[in-house]
Amino acid sequence: MPEVSIVLVEPLYEGNVGFTARVMKNFGFTRLVLVNPCKLGDDAIMRASHARDVLDNARRMTTVAEVYREFDFVVATTGEVSKSVCTPMRMPYYSPAEVREIVADIDGTVAILFGRENWGLANEELKRANLICTIPTSDVYPILNLSHAVGILCYELANLPRGEYPIAGPVQMDALYEHIDAFLDRIDHPDFKRENTMILIRRLIGRTKLTIREASTLHGLMRRTEWQMENREQTSYKGEI
């Protein structure tokens, strides 16, 4: 099954971290990652209750960039979604139940990213996510407590079947995105469209869960296209002489 880690980005209140550890253990999850968290003390320990081991064994990271470097697949959660597909930062988005279906057959590491209690995840932290998840809530009071949101995701992801195939990791995917970005230069893609285009490409490719072979094939197609473009340019130039 996928190795799922719950990642809290700069949590503000130690009680929420403790409650998160508790609800994780309720549903069989033990991998907790804390990115630049608040100070944890007696309140976190008390709220964790019998999940003290999850709290004590939590990994510490300094930045969200470390999460993206390490995990094969990153799901970023957000309460605020884009209103149009023309604004791709928080679009398309999926419910927790849909996330389960998408990650179920991954044989690799999956991070579920939760933002700060007061303003969630910044656009820069969302930009590289493979998938955007939002929890459908009432318009009357849509804001969930951090640990409650974690509990909903853990409930949906509990008892996942064993993953069927390994996916391309962050090193392979970063190399592919860099190649695509360079390819956009070759075809004179407008600079003012570049950021949105790369976000859309990350969203599209990210949710396909490419294998290493598939990522390599895309590299090969672009290299072949670049070779054809280069040779045609040389032929055209010689013809003009």
pLDDT band (50, 70, 90) for residue 209: confident
Residue 90 has pLDDT above 70, yes or no: no
Q: Is 75 exposed, middle or buried (0-12, 13-18, 19+ CB in 10 A)?
A: buried
pLDDT at 50: 96
pLDDT at 226: 87
Q: State the average pLDDT over residues 106-131.
A: 93
Please give the residue that has the higher pLDDT: either 149 or 83: 149
Residue 88 has pLDDT above 70, yes or no: no
Residue 158 has pLDDT above 50, yes or no: yes
Nearest to 173 by CA among 59, 64, 19, 68: 68
Range from 20-29, 96-105, 186-195 that averages highest in pLDDT: 20-29
Range from 59-73, 88-102, 183-197 that averages highest in pLDDT: 59-73
Round to whole Å and give the CA distance between 228 and 226: 5
CB 41 within 8 A of CB 81: no
pLDDT band (50, 70, 90) for residue 241: very low
Q: Which CATH number fits domain 170-240: 2.60.40, 3.30.420, 1.10.3470, 1.10.8?
A: 1.10.8
Which CATH number applies to 3-158? 3.40.1280.10
Domain edges within the chain: 3-158, 170-240
Report pTM: 0.81
pLDDT at 167: 83
Q: Hey, what are 34's tokens?
A: 């804390």
pLDDT at 229: 84
Range from 55-64, 86-95, 103-112, 204-213 that averages highest in pLDDT: 55-64
pLDDT at 131: 92
Q: What is the mean pLDDT of the chain?
A: 90
Please give the residue that has the higher pLDDT: either 138 or 66: 66
